[in-house]
């Protein structure tokens, strides 16, 4: 999976860096540019019949944000499409944490068993903004929950254990990098990246003031891990396993309120 980042061209760099401009809105160096074409998410909250979520996210579940990818032992997964009919939801999942030619795509329902990298996962929750998979192999659960050597980002692929983990210490460190629950968080539009100490980078890359929507993206360890292309006020988004509600979309900034 790692080769997909370097072999496939940097069409996905625009997910954050090209639109976010130079520099960072917080301390730290700019992260490695995601490589490979980003997952193009279909479906949006603005045209979503709901419900917002079906199922329940288990402790230790793998959270994959809409439009993003997640590295798994032996492979990876992308959440590329969200759809709902007013009663239930389905998720379009693609092989690989980053886009590569020839990857398999499948539509999954709640409770379905899917395989990535030769390992089985159960689809436990499907939301408009994320899908949560439960590893069915004990070896995968152990690997994903393993503690990293450090909770400080080193950049690029060295951050895999920070970016693609179910470890409680890692999740706590990511959570601590965001404003407290209930607080507002303002992202300048095209004003740079907010870089967390664990290496996760988040940006508001553009807005459509006529539609009242924004493009929000995140990357970690060189992978595009979230891409919300038409986020509007009232929508829920998730970065690094932490949820936010979009509360305002303005020409110069997008305001999020932390909910998780």
pLDDT per residue as tens, the chain (260 positions): 343 333 222 233 344 544 343 333 333 333 334 444 444 454 455 568 889 999 999 999 999 999 999 999 999 999 999 999 999 999 999 999 999 999 999 999 999 999 999 999 999 999 999 999 999 999 999 999 999 999 999 999 999 999 999 999 999 999 999 999 999 999 999 888 899 999 999 999 999 999 999 999 999 999 999 999 999 999 999 999 999 999 999 999 999 999 99
- The residues spanned by each domain of the chain are 2-258
Alpha carbons 44 and 154: distance in angstroms, whole number: 34
- Do 241 and 174 form a contact (C-beta atoms < 8 A)? yes
Angle at 146 between CA 177 and CA 104, to 5 degrees: 90
What single DSSP character describes residue 19?
Answer: H
Q: What is the pLDDT of residue 191?
A: 85
Element (H, E) at 67: none
The CA distance from 110 to 229, in Å, is: 24
Q: How many CB atoms lie under 10 A from the CB of residue 97?
A: 32
Phi and psi, residue 160, nearest 5° = -50, -40
Query: Can you give the pTM of this predicted structure?
Result: 0.85
User: For residues 2 and 77, what is the distance between their CA atoms, to the nearest angstrom?
Assistant: 13
- Cis check for the bond before 216: say yes or no (omega within 30 of 0): no
131's enclosing H/E stretch is strand 130-135
Angle at CA of residue 71, ends 220 and 63, nearest 5°: 80
Distance (Å, rounded) from C-alpha 116 to C-alpha 76? 6
């Amino acid at each position: 999976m790692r080769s997909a980042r370097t072999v496939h061209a940097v069409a996905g760099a625009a997910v954050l860096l090209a639109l976010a401009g130079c520099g960072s809105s917080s301390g730290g160096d700019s992260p490695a540019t995601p490589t490979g074409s980003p997952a193009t998410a279909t479906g949006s909250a603005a045209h979503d019949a709901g419900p917002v979520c079906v199922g329940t996210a288990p402790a230790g579940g793998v959270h994959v944000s809409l439009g993003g990818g997640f590295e798994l032992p032996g492979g990876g997964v992308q959440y590329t499409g969200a759809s709902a009919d007013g009663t239930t939801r389905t998720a379009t999942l693609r092989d690989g944490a980053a886009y590569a030619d020839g990857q398999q795509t499948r539509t999954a329902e709640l409770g379905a068993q899917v395989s990535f990298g030769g390992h089985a996962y159960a689809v436990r929750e499907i939301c408009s903004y994320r899908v949560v998979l439960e590893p069915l192999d004990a070896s995968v659960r152990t690997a994903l929950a393993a503690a990293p050597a450090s909770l400080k980002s080193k950049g690029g692929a060295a951050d895999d254990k920070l970016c693609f983990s179910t470890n409680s210490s890692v999740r706590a460190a990511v959570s601590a990098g965001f404003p407290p629950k209930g607080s507002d968080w303002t992202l300048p539009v095209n004003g740079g990246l907010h870089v967390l100490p664990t290496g996760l980078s988040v940006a508001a890359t553009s807005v459509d003031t006529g539609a009242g929507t924004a493009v929000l993206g995140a990357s970690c360890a060189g992978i595009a891990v979230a891409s919300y292309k038409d986020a509007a006020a009232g929508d829920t988004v998730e970065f690094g396993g932490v949820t936010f509600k979009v509360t305002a979309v303005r020409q110069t900034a997008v305001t999020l309120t932390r909910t998780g």
